[in-house]
């Protein structure tokens, strides 16, 4: 499987990746930096080359995932554009 390339770190909670022809935004919430969410969650969304998301349907990641966990998931299994339908 093709490994995603980290294009840029947008901020401490967001990374922009490229995987094949797709751009992917990784968005992380929870953990020590968020008082209302006890457990870390990292989700992946299809976006454009600037990191703008047009559909917030997740294509990888989930509760308990870190950035490296989602990158590993995408490397091993790719992205699931049909995850919710």
How many angstroms separate the Cα of 18 from the Cα of each of 1, 22, 45, 75? 14, 6, 11, 11
- pLDDT at residue number 39: 78
pLDDT of amino acid 83: 57
What is the pLDDT at residue 40? 86
The pLDDT of residue 35 is 62
pLDDT at 76: 94
Give this prediction's pTM: 0.85
Q: What is the pLDDT of residue 33?
A: 61
pLDDT under 70 in the chain at which residues?
A: 1, 31-38, 83-85
User: Cα separation of 51 and 32, whole Å?
Assistant: 25
DSSP 38-69: -S-EEEEEEE-TT--BS----SEEEET--HHH
Cβ count within 10 A of residue 15: 23
């Amino acid at each position: 499987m093709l490994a995603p390339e980290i294009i840029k770190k947008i901020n401490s909670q967001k990374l922009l990746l490229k995987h094949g022809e797709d751009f992917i935004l990784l968005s992380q919430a929870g953990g020590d930096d968020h008082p209302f969410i006890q457990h870390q969650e990292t989700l992946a969304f299809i976006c454009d080359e600037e990191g703008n998301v047009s559909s917030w349907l997740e294509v990888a990641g989930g509760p308990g995932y870190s950035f490296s966990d989602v990158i590993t998931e995408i490397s091993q299994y790719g992205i699931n554009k049909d995850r919710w339908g």
